Amino acid sequence: MSRRNQPDRPTGRRNIVGPQSALTDFLASHNISANRIRLDAEARRRAAEASQEGQADQANGDTPAAEADHDTPMADADSPAPPPPTRSTRRNETTAQAAKRKKDQEKAIDKIKARKKSKKAQADSDDDDDPLTSLFEAVKATPLPGQMENCEICSKRFTVTPYSRAGPNGGLLCNPCGKELEKDAPKKKPAKKPTGGPTGRRRTVQSRILDGTYTLGAKSLMTLCIKTLVKNIDLADELGDLPPRVVDKIGREMSKLRLVDSKTLDLFLQSSTDEVKIYDAAKLTSDDLLRIFQQVPNLKHLKIKNAIQFKDEVMAYLLDRDIELKSLYLLGANLLSEEMWNHFLKEKGTSLQSFQVYFTDRYFGDSTLAMLPKHCPSLKRFKIRHIQNVTGAGVKSLAKVKSLEHLGLQLHHTVHPDIYVHVINEIGANLRTFSIQMALTADNTVLDALHAKCRALQKLRINDSEVMTDEGFVRLFADWANPGLRFLDLSKCRQLDSVRPRENPDGVGLCSNGFRALMEHSGKTLQHLNVHACRHISREAFEDVFGPDKTYPNLTELEISFCEEVNDFIVGSAFRSCPNLRKMNVFGCMKVKDVKVPRGRILVGVPNALGMVIDGDQGVSV
Amino acid sequence: MSAQNGTASTRKYVTLVSKEGFEFVVLREATLVSPAIRSMLDPERNFLEAQTGRCIFQDISGSVLEYVVQYMHYWYQYKDKEDVPDMDIPVDLCLEVLMAADFLRMDRNGVLVLLLGARLSVWRFVRDQEHHFTTA
């Protein structure tokens, strides 16, 4: 155990060197050892203490003056700090300096004497061994509030209050003298704001719940390290040999705090890496984005969010370089012209496997989509969201991209359901992801096409359809040859009629039978289910699906907000039927009132002031 | 010391050794936070570490391992509490501790462990979970 006291010197016995901080590396390259600096500092501190002791001894006449000149015994000649005064320097000092030094010495001696005296007094009082006496003495020394006392400075008689200040010699002061004294005293630092009070803590917890990062117990060591690192990111020169997933985590955390700028970008541009993911490029200039292609020659995967400055010149530079991207993800690259997009696909499309573009308004349109079948033979993943210029004609050309496995669309133009059917008929057999959002007009023919063609689908999302019917959903899920889905999102597939909101004679939207059929088909495999605002699922259907004999072992997230019939019993049954359920959303379920939540699970959106419940009193129920 | 009694797999404490040979005697339960150490000490796998109750880390320096051990006890102390205060990591060692955390796979907060009591079933459960996560 005592080995821990040995100084951590590089012995040369072992040549294995563990991970070092960038600062340590930098210092080492200038032939400075961080460890040495630490040791020197300790040695200096020790020496200073020793010399003070020596001076005290000298005053007592015990030791000759020379003893006081302890040099730093362990400090080395190359120590950067000035050494304590030695005799040689003393010879040169002026009389004023000598006087000052003497004064300082005397002060130090007085201090030590006072300390010794008080120690002695303490020892004496301990000696008489009578707690009552010492108590009385203490009371005598500081008069209680309400008593009269003579002021220590002006000797006037005054009433002691809890606010009476102590004088320089330990006595109490009257109010005017106290104020006077306070004026002279240096201003105290403003008290540190107490952080994370009850309100702040609650807010933090709730924000973590909504982020989906809430767990009981301590944060992981990696999370703590990353948080510390990101807080001090300006000190880091490089991230060293961290694995890509850790670098990615650091990048996410930095983007969350909007810390990615021209300076910190370099941390992510290591020449050995093949992926660059920037989650917030809002502060980067076009030149910074150019630098990505200069400094990362092996770039294969590029993801930039808020890529506002990803302009034509950046894309032109990319086209000049010998970089074959496998995946490109751009969010908000609004300044890239349509010609440049087309040019990119023509030049670099062959290697492209994943192509995701989000939030552009004018320049990414049907002509670009029409390039895909010819120029992107290996495209597997194609997702576009909030693209204003793409219409049904563009979507139709996707039917010719035979390699597609993941398709996600959210368009502003209305697309006729026949186009979806055409796409599914052509490429549905290989599709693993099919996602259409804001698909107001998508109808049962789309569902029938999915039923007929899809055999490998894992993720299905159809949002906002106002014409699909319960019958259609039953037809989709009943005897579907596709294996169970992993992810299903049918939110807002419901009837909308402001005149007769409750009646739904045609069974528009996902209703009871469709819900039963989907859980029958995919319940065992589903991890994520979203039936947000499918208002016509009945209470009986929920009770059947989450009955006592049903279990859904894989389901971890359930979103049943705005399903009117959900009540306490259904929420409790759902927690029972889904043993691994982590989070359930019940916004707008007004019949949920006072539900028991198993420990560690999260229920969000309870219609009361609390809003979120994480911790019931049912204890561990796994 | 209790580490001397009984077979290695039942002792209450295990010893973690840094590359310079600094030794840290840690509560076995607290080391469960690291899946890497957990599998090293799994009696079913019968690694040398499981037999001797000593884990030697050739890549982790003593000063870094000290913080890792400190974290283990911090984690153990707060393991099913809410509103846990964050542990301070020294800025100058941050990158190195981060590398050690990555090496020891301490990137999840090990909440799965808490839900089950029996240790052996914990190991199996976590292993299955890991398998599940990696395949998912």
Closest approach of chain A CAs to the CA of B46, in angstroms?
Answer: 27
Q: CB neighbours of A106 closer than 8 A, spacing ≥ 6? A: none
pLDDT tier at A1, thresholds 50, 70, 90:
very low
pLDDT at residue A127 greater than cutoff 50: no
CB contact at 8 A, A459 and A433: yes
CB contact at 8 A, A218 and A242: no
Q: Which residues pair with A148 in a beta bridge?
A: A159
- Chain B CB within 8 Å of residue A615 CB: yes
Query: Amino acid identity, residue A389?
Result: N
Query: Do β-strands A459-462 and A557-559 pair in parallel, antiparallel, or remain unpaired?
Result: unpaired
Query: Do β-strands A602-604 and A612-613 pair in parallel, antiparallel, or remain unpaired?
Result: antiparallel
Helix (H, G, I), strand (E, B) or coil at A6: coil
Q: Given the structure tokens 């092996």, which residue do they identify? A: A298
Query: Residue A131 has what pLDDT?
Result: 56
A214 or A517, greater pLDDT: A517
Domains of chain A: total: 1
Asked if B98 lies within 8 A of A215 by C-beta distance, the reply is no
For residue A251, give the H/E element and its range.
helix A244-256
Closest approach of chain B CAs to the CA of A497, in angstroms?
Answer: 40
For residue A191, give the H/E element and its range.
none
- Pair of tokens at residue B104: 């020891």
For residue B107, the chain A residues in CB contact (below 8 A) are 220-223
In Å, what is the CA distance from B27 to each residue of A45, A449, B16, B75? 35, 59, 10, 12
- Chain B CB within 8 Å of residue A235 CB: yes
Residue A603 included in any domain: yes
Residue A552 included in any domain: yes
Q: Given the structure tokens 């001090």, which residue do they identify? A: A232
Residue A502 included in any domain: no
Q: CB neighbours of A78 closer than 8 A, spacing ≥ 6? A: none
Q: A172, A123, A132, A181: which is closest to A152 by C-alpha?
A: A172
Q: CB neighbours of A71 closer than 8 A, spacing ≥ 6? A: A47, A83, A84, A86
Asked if B98 lies within 8 A of A222 by C-beta distance, the reply is yes
Residue B110 CB: number of other CB atoms within 10 A?
Answer: 23
Q: What are all long-range contacts of A247-256, with beta carbons under 8 Å and residues at least 24 apart?
A: A247/A273, A248/A277, A249/A222, A250/A226, A251/A277, A251/A278, A251/A279, A252/A279, A253/A226, A253/A227, A254/A230, A255/A279, A255/A280, A255/A305
CA A116 to chain CA centroid, nearest Å: 53
pLDDT at residue B70 greater than cutoff 80: yes
Would you give the end-to-end CA distance of chain B in angstroms? 44
Question: What's the average model confidence in pLDDT over A70-82?
Answer: 45
CB contact at 8 A, A475 and A448: yes
| Ramachandran assignment for B21, one of left (phi > 0), alpha (psi -120 to 50 degrees), beta (any other) | left
For the domain B13-132, what is the CATH code? 3.30.710.10
Domains of chain B, by residue range, sit at 13-132
A131 or A539, greater pLDDT: A539
CA distance A577 to A571: 10
Stretch 195-214 of chain A: residues touching chain B, C-beta under 8 Å: 201, 205
Residue A599 included in any domain: yes
For residue A527, the chain B residues in CB contact (below 8 A) are 136
Query: Residue B112 has what pLDDT?
Result: 45
- Pair of tokens at residue B13: 């404490």
Q: HSE-up of B81 (CA within 13 Å, CB side)?
A: 12
CB contact at 8 A, A568 and A593: yes
- Pair of tokens at residue B109: 């907060």
CA distance A431 to A380: 9
CB contact at 8 A, A291 and A317: no
Sign of the C-alpha dihedral computed for residues A305, A311, A314 and A315 taken in this order: positive
pLDDT tier at A427, thresholds 50, 70, 90:
very high
- The lowest-confidence range among A139-143, A336-340, A487-491, A553-557 is A139-143
Closest approach of chain B CAs to the CA of A20, in angstroms?
Answer: 6
- The lowest-confidence range among A16-25, A160-169, A309-318, B50-59 is A16-25
- Pair of tokens at residue A202: 């609650």
Question: Which residue from B minimizes the CA distance to A8?
Answer: B20
Listing DSSP states for A13-35 in one string gives S--------HHHHHHHHTT--HH
Compute chain A's Rg from CA coordinates: 37
For residue A195, the chain B residues in CB contact (below 8 A) are none
Question: What's the average model confidence in pLDDT over A2-14?
Answer: 45
Question: What's the average model confidence in pLDDT over B73-92?
Answer: 87
Q: CB neighbours of A161 closer than 8 A, spacing ≥ 6? A: A145, A146
Asked if B59 lies within 8 A of A19 by C-beta distance, the reply is yes
User: Which tens digits make up the pLDDT trace of A561-597?
Assistant: 999 899 999 999 999 999 999 899 999 898 998 888 8
Residue A201 included in any domain: no
Q: A352, A340, A347, A275: which is closest to A312 by C-alpha?
A: A340
Residue numbers of the domain that contains A572: 538-621
pLDDT at residue B118 greater than cutoff 90: no
Give me the helix-helix angle, A444-453 and A417-427, nearest 10°.
0
Q: Which residues pair with A559 in a beta bridge?
A: A530, A585
pLDDT at residue B111 greater than cutoff 60: no
Of B22, B88, B114, the CB nearest to A3: B22
ipTM of the complex model? 0.79
pTM of structure: 0.67
Helix (H, G, I), strand (E, B) or coil at A188: coil
- The lowest-confidence range among A42-51, A185-194, A216-225 is A185-194
Closest approach of chain B CAs to the CA of A117, in angstroms?
Answer: 40
Residue A578 included in any domain: yes
Question: What's the average model confidence in pLDDT over B101-130?
Answer: 54
Question: Which residue from B minimizes the CA distance to A5?
Answer: B22
Listing DSSP states for A76-113 in one string gives -TT-SSPPPP-HHHHHT--HHHHHHHHHHHHHHHHHHH
Q: B101, B39, B41, B35: which is closest to B65 by C-alpha?
A: B101
Query: Residue A330 has what pLDDT?
Result: 95
CA A127 to chain CA centroid, nearest Å: 58
For residue A457, give the H/E element and its range.
none
Question: What's the average model confidence in pLDDT over A122-133?
Answer: 52
Helix (H, G, I), strand (E, B) or coil at B25: strand
Listing DSSP states for A496-524 in one string gives --SSSSS--TT-BBS-HHHHHHHHHHHTT
